[in-house]
């Protein structure tokens, strides 16, 4: 399974946008224009994180180089401060608190990797949209601005959790930029300038310049960044796939080549890509495999499922772990199921079984097609539970919600 166009049927996307219809959002706003959804703070959003949770997250979360950032705008420019650390490498909460008091915004990066409620939301949105998602939490003190006016090379949702924050969104100078083309540019007239209150949602398409600041109160918001795959990314995989087959693409560009000869060779090689047999299928397979590898499944329930493996029988309903994506490939006489950083290999003769597993969100061992015996089907389901690809349908924890 790989990426698909965003669809309006997902519960997580509908919940995020409510009461604005997801179908209308995808038709009128996705990659096109900003949206401000005004509403009170929903109960599910109130459970995500609070200002009181920030120091808890700092104290108990992962300790990696980029887990926390400190930023403020001075003289129209963003200034990032070094994050103070204790001797064991953990964030120094007292020093970070002082930086916050001095006007720095505290950014907890990739919060979905260390905070269960946010991880569950991220997994649901990833399932609905079919793209990778990153979630950062921003705590900005009163009378401050974190980043200067800028544009992003990805789609952005802003979910306000506490306090107010004033946003300004401007027309893009360059439509749908790649990350390499992201610049601030000159500001024109704001197309949207809401003051977000707790519960409000703001959608900013990539390329739209934006900035935000607080006034007389602090602000806490969750930024949801959608790292969508573009057509150019798939075409890159097509060129890479052909280079595996055609040595002419792997040759060295002559240093003395003229512009005319270079242009002729580029046209010739592009023609090879366009006419290569099965290169489209190879590109799609590489694209899906990479997306599956990059997926971040929500944690939870794996050890409990291992404890219950003996209880699992042919009628036990299981389902894909939220946030996980998978892809199928063939290597000789072997079919390979890729999911996250793991793989499962089975004889190609029973590829239909793996296709069913990949294509159905929930099932039981008895419903699996193919040549496997009943015992072998049950063994496969138990293996996928143990490896974390599946969860038990009655698991209501973060990994099974």
Q: Which residues pair with 133 in a beta bridge?
A: 226
Split the chain (401 residues) into runs of 10 and give each run's mean pLDDT. Answer: 40 96 96 97 96 92 77 91 87 94 96 91 91 95 94 94 97 82 71 97 95 96 94 88 88 92 92 85 84 83 91 95 89 87 86 92 94 93 94 71 43
Report the candidate in 12, 45, 29 with the shortest Cα–Cα distance to residue 192: 29
Q: Across 193-241, where does the E strand assignment appear?
A: 195-196, 201-204, 209-213, 219-227
Q: Determine how many CB atoms are found less than 10 A away from the CB of residue 330.
A: 11
pTM: 0.85
Is the distance from CB of 240 to CB of 232 less than 8 angstroms?
Answer: no
Q: What is the CA radius of gyration of the chain?
A: 24
In which element (H, E) is residue 335 found?
A: strand 334-339
Query: What pLDDT was estimated at residue 5?
Result: 37
Q: Is there a contact between 68 and 80 (Cβ–Cβ < 8 Å)?
A: no
Q: What is the DSSP string of 233-295?
A: HHHHHHHHHHHHH-GGGGSPPPTT--HHHHHHHHHHHHHHHHH-TTHHHHHHHHHHHHHHHH-
Query: How many C-alpha atoms does 197 have within 13 Å on its Cβ side?
Result: 5
Q: How many CB atoms lie within 10 A of CB 388?
A: 20
Residue 17 phi, psi dihedral angles, 5° rounding: -90, -20
DSSP assigned state of 85: B
- d(C-alpha 299, C-alpha 400), whole Å: 9
Number of H helices, E strands in the chain: 12, 18
Distance CA 99, CA 359 (A): 49
How many angstroms separate the first and last alpha carbons of the chain?
Answer: 21
Instruction: Measure the CA–CA gap between 18 and 110, rounded to whole angstroms.
Output: 24
**Residue 59, C-beta contacts closer than 8 angstroms, at least 6 positions apart:** 90, 93
Q: What angle do CA 326, 330, 331 make, to 5 degrees?
A: 125
Taken in order 5, 11, 14, 15, is the CA torsion positive or negative?
negative
* Residues 164/197, Cβ–Cβ less than 8 Å: yes
Residue 7 has what pLDDT? 38
C-alpha closest to that of 324 among 275, 291, 369: 291
Write down the pLDDT at residue 184.
Answer: 59
Tokens representing residue 56 in the block: 């808890």
Residue 27: Cβ-neighbour burial (10 angstroms; 0-12, 13-18, 19+):
exposed
Give me the pLDDT at residue 401, please.
Answer: 43
Other C-beta atoms within 10 Å of 49: how many? 24
DSSP string, 87-100: TTS-B-HHHHHHHH
113-141 per-position pLDDT tens digit: 889 999 999 999 998 998 889 999 999 99
**What pLDDT is recorded for position 61?**
64
395, with CB counted inside 10 A (0-12, 13-18, 19+), is: buried
The predicted pLDDT at position 6 comes to 38
């Amino acid at each position: 399974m790989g990426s698909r166009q965003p669809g309006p049927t997902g519960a997580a996307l509908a919940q995020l946008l409510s009461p604005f219809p997801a179908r209308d959002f995808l038709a009128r706003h996705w990659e096109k224009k900003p949206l401000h959804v005004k509403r009170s703070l929903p109960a599910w959003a109130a459970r995500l994180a609070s200002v009181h949770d920030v120091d808890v997250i700092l104290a108990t979360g992962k300790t990696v180089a980029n887990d926390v950032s400190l930023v403020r705008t001075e003289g129209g420019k963003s200034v990032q401060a070094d994050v103070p650390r204790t001797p064991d490498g953990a964030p120094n909460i007292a020093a970070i608190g002082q930086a916050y008091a001095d006007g720095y915004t505290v950014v907890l990066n990739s919060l979905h990797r260390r905070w269960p409620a946010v991880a569950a939301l991220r997994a649901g949105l990833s399932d609905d949209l079919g793209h990778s998602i990153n979630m950062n939490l921003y705590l900005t003190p009163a009378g401050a601005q974190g980043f200067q006016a800028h544009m992003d090379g990805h789609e952005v949702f802003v979910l306000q959790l506490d306090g107010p924050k004033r946003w300004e969104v401007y027309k893009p100078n360059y439509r749908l930029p790649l990350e390499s083309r992201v610049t601030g540019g000159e500001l024109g007239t704001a197309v949207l300038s809401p003051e977000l209150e707790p519960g409000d949602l703001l959608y900013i398409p990539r390329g739209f310049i934006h900035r935000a600041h607080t006034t007389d109160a602090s602000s806490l918001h969750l930024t949801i960044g959608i790292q969508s795959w573009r057509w150019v990314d798939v075409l890159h995989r097509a060129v890479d796939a052909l280079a595996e087959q055609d040595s002419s693409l792997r040759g060295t560009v002559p240093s003395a080549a003229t512009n005319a000869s270079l242009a002729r060779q580029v046209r010739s090689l592009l023609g090879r890509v366009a006419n290569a047999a099965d290169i489209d299928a190879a590109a799609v397979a590489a694209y899906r495999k990479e997306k599956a590898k990059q997926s971040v499944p929500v944690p939870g329930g794996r050890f409990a499922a291992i404890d219950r493996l003996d209880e699992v029988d042919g009628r036990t309903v299981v389902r894909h772990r939220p946030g996980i994506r998978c892809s199928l490939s063939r290597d000789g006489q072997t079919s390979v199921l890729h999911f996250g950083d793991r793989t499962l290999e089975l004889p190609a003769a029973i590829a239909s079984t793996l296709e069913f597993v990949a294509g159905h969100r929930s099932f039981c061992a008895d419903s699996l097609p193919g040549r496997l015996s009943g015992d072998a089907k049950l063994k496969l389901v138990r293996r996928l539970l143990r490896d974390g690809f599946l969860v038990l349908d009655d698991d209501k924890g973060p990994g099974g919600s």
